[in-house]
Amino acid sequence: MQASVHRYDDEFGSGSVLLDDGREIPFDVTVMDASGLRLLRPGQRVSIEMSATALTRLWIVGIGEGEIIR
């Protein structure tokens, strides 16, 4: 699934993404730390995975271990 970065606080490593249907999903520093990314900017497209209640993973296709640029 994909989303757009809505907010990102680089001091705390947390923020939120907007799904294409307009829902805002927050994420905390543990998700950002696991992503291997150093920062995000509002409007940036990211791929995400979610559990039933929270965002569990985010990444940019082609960036990070095991990611292939297509």
* pTM beyond 0.95, yes or no: no
Contact 58, 17 (CB under 8 A): yes
pLDDT at position 16 is 97
- pLDDT of 5 above 80: yes
CB neighbours of residue 13 within 10 Å = 19
pLDDT at position 43 is 94
CB neighbours of residue 16 within 10 Å = 17
- Whose structure tokens read 């970065």? 5
pLDDT at position 46 is 94
How many helices (H) and strands (E) the chain has is answered by: 1, 5
Each residue's pLDDT tens digit, 27-69: 999 999 888 888 999 999 999 999 998 999 998 876 666 666 5
**Can you list the domains of the chain with their CATH numbers?**
2-59 (2.40.50.140)
